Structures are given as structure tokens and as C-alpha cells.
Amino acid sequence: MATRKFDLVIAANRLPVDRVVGPDGRNEWHRSPGGLVTAMDSVMRHRDGAWVGWAGEAGEAPAPFAEAGMWLHPVPVSREEITSYYEGFSNETLWPIYHDVIVPAHFHREWWADYRAVNERFAEAVCDVAAPGAKVWIHDYQLQLVPALVRERRSDVRIGWFNHIPFPPVELFAQLPWRSRIIEGLLGADYLGFQRQADAQNFLRAARQLDGRTTKGETVTTTDPDGSVRVVRASAVPISVDYEGLDELARTPAVEQRAEQIRASLGDPEVVMLGVDRLDYTKGIRHRLKAYEELLVDGTLRSPEVTFVQVATPSRERVAAYRQLRSEVETTVGRINGTYSAIGRPALHYLHRSYPREEMAALFQMADVMLVTPLRDGMNLVAKEYVTCRHDDGGALVLSEFTGAWHHMKQAFVCNPHDIEGLKLTMMRAIETDPRQKRRQMRALRRQVSENDVQTWADRFLTNLELAPERPDRTGAKGARP
């Protein structure tokens, strides 16, 4: 049977679904958690396209299939490649470098070899489903070689790449032994999108200082293997959320009733603080818990009048740094609850699992203070989801200045999560500020998110991709890489 062809092809490390065995023993596909899936799911439902990605299981990939209005094209990844390409190179080499080396990065040549091999497999899958002249939209740090690999095979398609995480300063990126290969891979694209302008500038500086490329403004000049010279644009196009869909969900009676139920189950405290994160060392969970514990020690906050709910979605549990983080967080949770809880009224509710959208919307609605305090984050869509769900204009958002979201949400209560004393003061300001002022701040935040939703983001990216400069020139123009 001939492979279906599409004018829009999305490539991301994971498909937007996970296989789940139902009560009757049948295989079912459920939507995966995560910011990329949440954002792109609504984008794809408004466009006819294919999604290329790994199905989350080792070995043979399922046959391509349609699910919830999307055509999904699985890519196989072996058990060994999960260890080397994903857990290894993507999350123990690239992730630390791209997040300010909060934990040390590890460099292994065999990891790099498998990263390259999996990227080649993704490129082949993309080319299989891309119609002539298609737009190809590649996502994130796991697939940085795919743009050039697709261009080698299909010079007819338009190629874009978007980075959901920060792009590091030159001084950190320079540590990568394969830095030139990554720059070369990315420059296979026509357009490179980043969360912040600083990230785009970091890439341009890396291309210029580490790889000898000529840059001008938002562009960098490159030469393809066939000798043609192209100009690639790199700029900021910050991601957002499905404001309309999430706002509609939050207004449903079922969600509003569930929010009341959750608050009642907590003992209806005067103040509920909430954190929602993947269990990742970049998210600042340890710093947040330390600040909360010190407020309890000081007597500034008292349980059960105040309680804190921390949702920590399981993440990369086979990677050593993540196992250590989980141990440290759970030790801290136990110490806080052992010291400050009343019988039947924990000072801290720790939930190490993921929840469906409806439950998250209810959690957002019942929380008086939302703590979004990463040490480093490309955007952080939880901040925007919280604001979207507060159609009552209630609540308060405490936001780290090291998130991409801070650049667009400065009406939030802004903090430096490394400064524990400052974080404590910011948490108290979010609790104690006059409710009328907090409502004004929340209205401004909601307006910003509603005017810059995920559809706006997708339209901007695809427009930038369509208009990206392209100057074929086989004469070896001045400034081109030899």
C-alpha cells in the first residue's frame, strides 16, 4: 500500500499518544502528557498533517495509523537506543548543557553515534510522508540533525525547526565535542524558531564564533553539500497554550465542582499553594520546598491554615540525576510533613503522577497561589495554563525570571528562585497583596495569553517559515562556509 503524503509534516521525539491496554485487553491510544504535545495537539487538529515520532516502546514500530484526526507515523527505537540516544545523549549530554549545567553533562561517543543514527531514521520517515513542496516542522533538541538530513534527501521541501528549551550561551555550547555537527544539522532548516530572542542570538553567536559562519542580524549564511548558498533565519517565536479550548474546559460545571471537591478534601484551608512540574532538576522544586519549609519554621505560615500541593509528574526515571532528585524531594516532603502536619491534615500534599486535563484545570482553579519557579526553562506552559483556567480572575502567579514565560507575563509576582529569602518574600506577597490588585494583575495576564495563544504561535512560525530568506548561489558567495 502506498504511503500517504501530507503538505504539513511534524517531527518530534514522541508521538502525541501512548499505548494503553484497556480493561478488555485491547490496545488503546491515550494522549501523552507534556508541554509539546499539549501545544501541538490543538495545532494539528486545525490542520491536515502527519506527525512523525517514536511511540514510546522499544523495538518494532506500530504501522502508521489515524488517531483523533491526526495521521501518526511511528519511528522505531531499539532498547539500546533508548539508553544511548534518549536517556544518554539527549538527556545526559544536551539537556544539562542547554540548562546552564545545573548538573554535569556527560560525553560519550557511542551516545553520539546512536543520536546520529536515530536522527537519520527520523529524516527518512519525514521524507516518506512529505508531499512535494511540503512544509516540514521539526521539534526540539532530540532532532537537531534532522533538518540537514531531510534537506540532503528532499531539497523540494520547506524545513523549519523549533527549540522548546533554552539554547545555551556560547561558553556552554562550546563544551560539546560535536558542536559543529549540531550547527550544521540545524542549518539544514530554512527557519529556526526559539522561545526567546536571547536563545536565537545564542545560536547565531555559536554559528559565528565556533563554526566560522557569517551572520547578519537574524540570519546566518550556509553552503549546502551541492554547493548552493542559503541564508537561514533564526528568531524568537514564543510558544503558548490553547486558550480558547482550555478556558472553555475550565468553565464547565464538572471542572468547577471538582475544584470545590479538591479544596474540601484538603480541609478547606485559608490558602492553597500549588506546584505542577515534571520531576526535573531544572524546575526548582527543591528550592521551592526549602522556601516553604522555612516559612513554616519561621511561623510566617502555619499548617493547616495553609497547605501546599506539589504535583511532580514522573520523568526519565532511569537517569541517575532524576533518581537522585526524586529521593531528595521525597525526603524533604517526609521531613516537612513529619514536623508540621496535623492529624489528617498534611502540610504538604505530594503527588508523584500525571493527571488528565480536566483534573489539572480543577487544581488550577482551586489554587490561591501558583508557584512556577524553575531554575531555567524555555517557556513553561504551566504558568499560561494556570492563568487561562482562572476565568474568575482569582489566584496569584509566582513566576521565576528564568522562564521564557516571564518575558511575556511581567504582571506576575516575579522571583529569583536561587534567592531563598527573596522567594519567601515573593510567596508572601502573592498571599497578602490586596485581592483587588491581584485581580487586576490576573486580568492583564489573561489578556496577554488570550491574545497570544497557540494558534497565533503556529501561524507566526509557519509564516516565518514561508517567508524565510533563501538565496541559491552556486558561485561560492563571499562569507559562505567553504
| Cβ atoms 244, 336 nearer than 8 A | no
**In the chain, domain spans:** 6-239+458-467, 243-452
Residue 344 CA, distance from chain mean position: 36
In the predicted model, is pLDDT for residue 475 greater than 60? Answer: no
* Other residues' Cβ atoms within 10 Å of the Cβ of residue 463: 12
In the predicted model, is pLDDT for residue 479 greater than 90? Answer: no
* Segment 48-68, tens digit of pLDDT: 899 999 998 999 999 999 887
Measure Cα distances from 51 to 27, 126, 302 in Å: 20, 9, 49
* pLDDT, mean of residues 298-315: 96
> Looking at this protein, which amino acid is placed at residue 120?
E
Mean pLDDT is lowest, of 2-16, 90-104, 198-212, for 2-16
* Other residues' Cβ atoms within 10 Å of the Cβ of residue 104: 9
* Segment 262-272, tens digit of pLDDT: 999 999 999 99
- What is the DSSP pairing of strand 229-236 with strand 219-223? antiparallel
| Cβ atoms 167, 126 nearer than 8 A | no
Q: How far apart are CA 258 and CA 267, in angstroms?
A: 14
Q: What mean pLDDT is reported for the chain?
A: 93
* pLDDT, mean of residues 317-327: 92
| Strand boundaries in 377-422, DSSP class E | 396-400, 413-415
Superfamily of domain 243-452: Glycogen Phosphorylase B; (3.40.50.2000)
Complete DSSP assignment for 170-188: HHHHTT-TTHHHHHHHHTT
What is the total residue count of the chain? 482
* C-alpha cell read off for 275: 506546584
Question: Residues 77-95, buried b or exposed e (16+ Cβ, 10 A)?
Answer: beeebbbbbbbbbbbbbbb
| Cβ atoms 83, 13 nearer than 8 A | no
* pLDDT, mean of residues 174-189: 98
- The yes/no answer on whether domain 6-239+458-467 falls in CATH 3.40.50.2000 is yes
In the predicted model, is pLDDT for residue 37 greater than 80? Answer: no
In the predicted model, is pLDDT for residue 36 greater than 90? Answer: no
Q: Is 255 helix (H, G, I), strand (E, B) or coil?
A: helix
Q: Is 55 helix (H, G, I), strand (E, B) or coil?
A: coil
* C-alpha cell read off for 78: 531499539
Helices (H), 342-453: 357-366, 381-389, 420-432, 435-451
| DSSP-derived secondary structure letter, 377 | B
Q: How far apart are CA 74 and CA 52, in angstroms?
A: 6
Q: Phi/psi of residue 337, each to 5°?
A: -70, -35
Q: How far apart are CA 109 and CA 89, in angstroms?
A: 9
* C-alpha cell read off for 103: 548538573
> Do 6-239+458-467 and 243-452 show the same overall fold?
yes
User: What is the predicted pLDDT for the residue at 477?
Assistant: 36
> Looking at this protein, which amino acid is placed at residue 28?
E
* pLDDT, mean of residues 137-151: 98
